[in-house]
Structure 1
Amino acid sequence: MKPALLAVTLTALLAPVFSHAAAPTVSAEQYAKVLAGSWRAPENVARDGYRHPQQSLQFFGLGPKQTVIEITPGNGWYSELLAPLLKDNGHYIAAVQAPTVSDYARKNEEKLKSKFAASPAQYTNAQVLEFDPKAPAFGQPGSADTVLTFRNVHNWVLADTAPLMFQAFFKVLKPGGVLGVVDHRAKDGASLEDIKHSGYLTTDYVVKLATDAGFKLEAHSEINANPKDTKDYPEGVWTLPPALTLGEKDRAKYVAIGESDRMTLRFVKPAK
């Protein structure tokens, strides 16, 4: 029997949208400097228009003195921005799967460390932290201000480790700390099997993972929404850029759609 997603009504939870009225804790000039940084890979700069990094980080309340843990940063797309923004007064931690988990994990860590070594002026204070996805731990309890994860929750759902990951996020955050999540957004009512084959998650499901771990949903944003994404492709979300799994087949069509429609959620660990 295929497990179905619990129908969680989000009307009450998602009604309050985070206000951007307050000035960001990182200045516009600081964002402009890192976004234009010569250390950024050109292929990463090309994704800015889809991923809205400044608006996303402002929504999550990034501050220059925070301890921020980014979970599985991949090729370091957000590392290129977070590490230099936090270098002088904060602490950026890139949490990666231990190299013993898989050859893929080992290569990813090697590439990330090479990136950091190549630009010491930007990454000199960046830390790489290894974790076991089957028993994740991200530091001393209550030691982080913010945990961020971009397009990773679907992988943990596939691996059946998602509840453990969210519990570990809750543990490492200070009371009042923020968990920021961006991921591919499924159509409402998608089943768990749909998720596992498509890479798209329902917002209900992500909210349940977080609230089951103890978090409160504070706000949501449409910063990373893409109404052109129909979410019904032969190879799931990986059909779209940047993966373009089908290669040249209908490439122009998928490039025109752009990257996936994404939820952007801000959770908070309750102060008490």
Structure 2
Amino acid sequence: MKFTHLLASMACATVFAGAVQAAPHKEAIEGDHRTPAYAARDQYRHPAETLEFFQVKPDMTVVEIWPGGGWYSEILAPMLKENGTFYAAHFPADTEVGYFKSSRKSFEKMLAEEQDVYGAVKLTEFAPGGDSEIAPAGVADAVLTFRNVHNWMGGKNEQAAFKTFYKALKPGGVLGVVEHRAKPGTSRADMRNSGYVTQDYVIELAKNAGFVLEESSEVNANPKDTADHPKGVWTLPPSLRLGDEDKDKYLAIGESDRMTLRFRKPKA
């Protein structure tokens, strides 16, 4: 009887520990601080499942690459605030690109005005192909990039980007990549213009930088997306570049079909 009670107690403790471990994801995702329009995209971006797949935990040092308006930062910052470290590697402070300037300015304003959520965020910068430091070398447990690889292809800096990620990670650290997925065999030029990148190409970039592909997930897949739209990936929500033209059609498709890949920096 005592042994049975012991097993039951151990089982309860295991369940409770699991619930505690999962709570930071849940609390951050469901927090009142989140922008309602961002939270509405959870149905397409599956943040809880994605972060679990990337094995992100609240006591880790995490770097988010080009957080933009802060969609994932709204989740990562409060999750990591107490026991972890969060580096937001945004657009360069001295950028001449108008969109980059306004985006970084808005992000800085968010950090300054909501200290209770973002007070511990370490704001760094990332310039693909440049010498910017996203975090001190070898300190990160995870580097995460969401829908960014296509942005680095115009200047042919995508390979350099992956080398920067490798440098920032600890041996054994995780690189998590979510990217719009092109059909196999799509040319580099078409990838650059459409915003969709082939999964094989992303894997090639990571492997060339020294990473090992550990696992892929279909958590952010969308079989409705044909990846051949007039304005590329920006035809779909949330961009809807065609305005009201065929709007209902593209809303019915939803956001893009996406690969979700977990790479590992070898320990040796």
Whose helix proportion is higher, 1 or 2? 2
Residue of structure 2 equivalent to 1:37: 31
- Rounded to whole Å, the distance in 1 between the matches of 2:225 and 2:170 is 36
Residue of structure 2 equivalent to 1:219: 215
**Counterpart check, 1:251 vs 2:241:** no
C-alpha RMSD of matched pairs (Å): 1.4
- Rounded to whole Å, the distance in 2 between the matches of 1:186 and 1:48 is 22
- Greater Cα shift, 118-127 or 253-262: 118-127
Question: Which amino acid in 2 is paired with 1:236?
Answer: G
Q: Deviations over 1:84-134 (max 9, x none)?
A: 000001001110121322222221111111112222111110111023333
Aligned to 2:153, the other structure's residue is in SS state helix
Aligned to 1:179, the other structure's residue is in SS state strand
Aligned to 1:158, the other structure's residue is in SS state coil
**Counterpart check, 1:232 vs 2:228:** yes
Residue of structure 2 equivalent to 1:58: 52
- Rounded to whole Å, the distance in 1 between the matches of 2:158 and 2:203 is 12
**Counterpart check, 1:271 vs 2:267:** yes
Aligned to 1:92, the other structure's residue is in SS state strand
- Rounded to whole Å, the distance in 2 between the matches of 1:106 and 1:25 is 41
- Rounded to whole Å, the distance in 2 between the matches of 1:269 and 1:228 is 33
Question: Could you tell me how far 1:36 is from its partner in structure 2?
Answer: 1.7
Residue 185 of structure 1 is aligned with which of 181, 189, 200? Answer: 181
Distance change >3 Å, CA 128–CA 195, structure 1 → 2: same
Question: Which amino acid in 2 is paired with 1:70?
Answer: E
Residue 167 of structure 2 is aligned with which of 167, 171, 174? Answer: 171
- Rounded to whole Å, the distance in 1 between the matches of 2:118 and 2:175 is 23
Distance change >3 Å, CA 201–CA 35, structure 1 → 2: same
**Counterpart check, 1:162 vs 2:158:** yes
Q: Deviations over 1:113-169 (max 9, x none)?
A: 111222211111011102333314323221111000000001011221111110010
Distance change >3 Å, CA 111–CA 26, structure 1 → 2: farther
Residue 85 of structure 1 is aligned with which of 72, 79, 82? Answer: 79
Residue of structure 2 equivalent to 1:208: 204
Gaps of 5+ in 2: 1-16
**Counterpart check, 1:106 vs 2:101:** yes
- Rounded to whole Å, the distance in 2 between the matches of 1:59 and 1:25 is 16
Residue 118 of structure 1 is aligned with which of 103, 110, 113? Answer: 113
Q: Normalization by structure 1: what TM-score?
A: 0.89
- Rounded to whole Å, the distance in 1 between the matches of 2:125 and 2:173 is 21
Question: Could you tell me how far 1:24 is from its partner in structure 2?
Answer: 6.6
Aligned to 1:132, the other structure's residue is in SS state coil
Contact 2:128 2:158 in 1 (8 A): no
Question: Which amino acid in 2 is paired with 1:134?
Answer: G
**Larger Cα Rg: Structure 1 or Structure 2?**
2
- Rounded to whole Å, the distance in 2 between the matches of 1:110 and 1:39 is 19
Q: Normalization by structure 2: what TM-score?
A: 0.90
- Rounded to whole Å, the distance in 2 between the matches of 1:192 and 1:25 is 44
Contact 2:80 2:86 in 1 (8 A): yes
Aligned to 1:176, the other structure's residue is in SS state strand
Contact 1:97 1:131 in 2 (8 A): yes
**Counterpart check, 1:146 vs 2:180:** no
Contact 2:87 2:134 in 1 (8 A): no
- Greater Cα shift, 243-252 or 25-34: 25-34
Gaps of 5+ in 1: 1-22
Aligned residues: 250
Could you tell me the percent identity over the aligned residues? 51
- Rounded to whole Å, the distance in 2 between the matches of 1:137 and 1:26 is 33
